[in-house]
Amino acid sequence: MDSILVTGNGPLNGQIPIAGAKNACLTLMPATLLSDEPLTLTNAPRLSDIRTMSDLLRSLGAEVSSLQHGKVLAMSSHDLSNLRADYDIVRKMRASILVLGPLLARAGQAEVSLPGGCAIGARPVDLHLRALEALGAEMDLRDGYVHAKAPAGGLRGGVIDFPLVSVGATENALMAATLAKGTTVIRNAAREPEIVDLARCLRKMGAQIEGEGEAEITVEGVDRLHGATHQVVTDRIELGTYMLAPVICGGEVELLGGQMELVRSFVEKLDEAGVEVSESEAGLKVRRRNGRVRAVDVVTEPFPGFPTDLQAQMMALMCTAEGTSVLEEKIFENRFMHAPELMRMGAKIDVQGGTARVTGVERLRGAPVMATDLRASVSLILAGMAAEGETRVSRVYHLDRGYENVVEKLSAVGAKIERIHDQ
């Protein structure tokens, strides 16, 4: 298994291009199942999760071609030859559950294995199932699979009232509702930019949607959706991650394609910590105002709150901040697995349930560490960039799920980082 070797060093300068959002692409891709006409996505990120979703769609009978070195995905679901999403593919990635709504809406039935994905808590799919039930579907959990069936005549509009905000369940509900008969109202909907991006794409395909980006979304079902071409929104998590590089190492980096509205709550915290973020013509520029950043407290929340997907990276920053910061994880119950690894590098962290108290130290020390999930892996790389000596991050396959060309992007601004290919 490959590992990444990082050596702590001085200021970074230059530009880092930000890719299209993994999480947007993973919900835009299954939207192809809703139509028998082609859907083309541009600005797609080149990641193993995207290849897994391509494999899953192909297994259902869709055609997926990766063009322009993977930046364009040309998909067509003219014929759906199979309505069963198999365990072998689904277990690799939790987002596989996002084929359930579209399959059910277009074909009237589906079998989807219960998902796997990052080990960051229980992550059930009950909200996805309840949402589709509200549209008339019958759900049966058997042999590790969800067996779903639409009523005769197809899904019908209904009221979906989520007891808690779920990004994936909102996406499944939204996609399914586009082809349901009548009106669907989704309450307590997720408001993430990826939801807005999905709604925009669905609208280009002919869907009638109002209210995306707000807590209540209304969908007027249509008989069929047609083809479209859509550009995937910028990856706000990749953006936030690389914004931390010059904060940790010093210097100034411009994040190409970065947009303030995607990372507002994150920028507010950075500002409080002593970081300057400014808008440029091509994106966002980031630099530390003074020497060391100040400790800040963070609570993860659904959008527009501080994203859970940036919590691990923020913790890496707080490890060398001045003072003590309290990081509260409200979305996933088991998302501090990076803390013991950071402690191997000399960080002072005390985890009690969903709260981590981080007392900044002057300098971290390089150490061999292990990536435990996608965002944890990149937090260890950031910590390695702040540390004295060498840090070797193993199990980087997690990283390949969500960050394209991480070594190239960081080396381009002066970081000392390389990938070691194990024999």
CA 217 to chain centre: 21
Does 166 help bind ligand UD1 (rule: CB under 6 A)? yes
Does 236 help bind ligand UD1 (rule: CB under 6 A)? no
**Whole-angstrom distance between the N-terminal and C-terminal Cα of the chain?**
8
CA distance 275 to 134: 46
Indicate if 118 belongs to the active site.
Answer: yes
> What is the number of alpha carbons within 13 Å of residue 400 lying toward its C-beta?
13
Residue type for position 102: P
Dihedral of the CA atoms 69, 256, 378, 231 (nearest 10)? Answer: -50
Identity of the residue, 164 or 282, whose beta carbon is nearer to ligand UD1 in the bound complex: 164
| Closest approach of ligand UD1 to the CB of residue 390, in Å | 30
| Closest approach of ligand UD1 to the CB of residue 241, in Å | 13
3-state helix vs strand vs coil in the chain, percent to 5: 35, 30, 35
Angle at 199 between CA 37 and CA 179, to 5 degrees: 55
Identity of the residue, 125 or 318, whose beta carbon is nearer to ligand UD1 in the bound complex: 125
Identity of the residue, 91 or 392, whose beta carbon is nearer to ligand UD1 in the bound complex: 91
| SS3 category, 360 | coil
Identity of the residue, 123 or 416, whose beta carbon is nearer to ligand UD1 in the bound complex: 123
Identity of the residue, 10 or 124, whose beta carbon is nearer to ligand UD1 in the bound complex: 124
- Number of residues near ligand UD1 (by CB under 6 A): 21
Does 308 help bind ligand UD1 (rule: CB under 6 A)? yes
Does 31 help bind ligand UD1 (rule: CB under 6 A)? no
| Closest approach of ligand UD1 to the CB of residue 163, in Å | 9
Residues 103-162 that bind ligand UD1 (CB under 6 A): 121-128
Does 26 help bind ligand UD1 (rule: CB under 6 A)? yes
- Member of 162, 242, 332, 403 binding ligand UD1 (CB under 6 A): 332
Show contacts of 399-402: CB within 8 Å, 24+ apart: 399/4, 399/371, 399/374, 400/47, 400/48, 401/22, 401/47, 401/48, 401/49, 401/93, 401/374, 402/22, 402/47, 402/49, 402/237, 402/238, 402/374, 402/375, 402/378
Does 100 help bind ligand UD1 (rule: CB under 6 A)? no
Does 54 help bind ligand UD1 (rule: CB under 6 A)? no
User: Contact residues for ligand UD1 (CB under 6 A)?
Assistant: 23, 26, 94-95, 121-128, 164, 166-169, 308-309, 331-332
Catalytic residues: 118
